Amino acid sequence: MYWPVMDLLVWGFVSVYVGRLRGGGAQAVAFLLGGMILWDIFFRAQQALSVSFLEDIWTRNLINVFVSPISTLEFIVAMLLLGVMKVIVTGLLLSALAYALYAFNLFQYGLPLIPFVMNLLLSAWGIGIITVAMILRWGQGAETLAWAIPFLFTPFSAVYYPVAVLPAALRPVAWALPTTHAFEGMRTVLSGRGTAWDQVGWGLGENAALLAASAVVFAWVMHVARDRGLLLRVEG
């Protein structure tokens, strides 16, 4: 039921947005393509953490990692750097395809987009760390969270449509997510209005809270895992 509901929410809101448009079709296409590219940046960065962790579980390498001289922080930083490399490769590929197939040049918007891309990376890292903590706590039975959690944010992050499309009751939920500020800011840039620094500020503030919470959750789960021997069970 999860995936059909997510599809219904996302594409239902997209349909509402398209239905409200009066002209401006080219701009709507730019918003959709830009949203797709930036969403993939967020998704790949989160996956680099959670799926890389799962790969260590699947190959039974997790214990070797944690008994090696590598610290937990170094392990996480390595996964973050891997994510950055994946994001660069994927982002360049998608941007090139968007230009070749749809004449949409994301690079023409240049520097004004960078703060929003950085905010999406911070959001992805915070969510990825929490996802890793949940997998570590509950084992391989929770591995689907690596894919499910990012998509839980999609309907409420205004990826393909503005927050105004959402029902009034859901808008406070959307504005509470740092990802929403990134996508709203992206649309401001693509519409030629420059960088929305208020969106950058709100996104940074919410990301700071998210990263602090993820660090606390991960530290607590690591303490519990070592105390109860969960590192051995998780490879079970």
What long-range pairs does 146-151 form, CB within 8 A, spacing at least 24?
A: 146/47, 146/50, 146/51, 146/54, 147/47, 148/2, 149/46, 150/42, 150/43, 150/46, 150/47, 150/124, 151/3, 151/6
What residue has token string 């969270």? Answer: 145
Find the helix packing angle between 145-153 and 2-20, rounded to 10°: 20
**What mean pLDDT comes out for the span 211-225?**
90
CA atoms within 13 A on the CB side of 35: 24
Instruction: Provide the 10 A C-beta neighbour count for residue 120.
Output: 28
Distance of alpha carbon 147 from alpha carbon 140, whole angstroms: 13
* 226 confidence band (pLDDT: 50, 70, 90): confident
Distances (CA, A) of 32 to 59, 113, 202: 38, 15, 23
Q: What is the pLDDT of residues 63-104, one digit of tens each?
A: 777 777 777 788 888 888 888 888 888 888 888 888 887 788
CA 56-59-62 angle, 5° bins:
40
The C-alpha torsion from 154 through 43 and 107 to 82, rounded to 10°, is: 160
Domain housing 42: 2-234
* CB atoms near residue 42 (< 10 Å): 26
Which structure tokens are listed for 88? 């660069």
Helix ranges (H only) for 139-177 are 145-153, 171-175
Average pLDDT, the chain: 84
Per the document, the length of the chain is 236
pLDDT in tens, 35-73: 888 998 899 899 888 888 888 888 877 777 777 777 778
pLDDT-based confidence at residue 11 (cuts at 50, 70, 90): low
Whether 131 shows a pLDDT value over 60: the answer reads yes
Domain tally for the chain? 1
Does 206 score more than 90 pLDDT? yes
The pLDDT tens digits for 148-193 are 888 888 889 999 889 998 999 999 999 999 999 999 999 999 888 8
Contacts of 172 (CB under 8 A, 6+ apart): none
- Residue 136: pLDDT band (50, 70, 90) is confident
Q: Percent of the chain having pLDDT more than 90? A: 30
> Which of 32, 9, 3 lies closest to 161, judged by CA?
32
Query: Angle at which helices 178-190 and 197-228 pack, to 10 degrees?
Result: 150
Encoding tokens for residue 30? 């730019």
- Name the pLDDT band for 141 (thresholds 50, 70, 90): confident
117 neighbors 38 (Cβ within 8 angstroms): yes
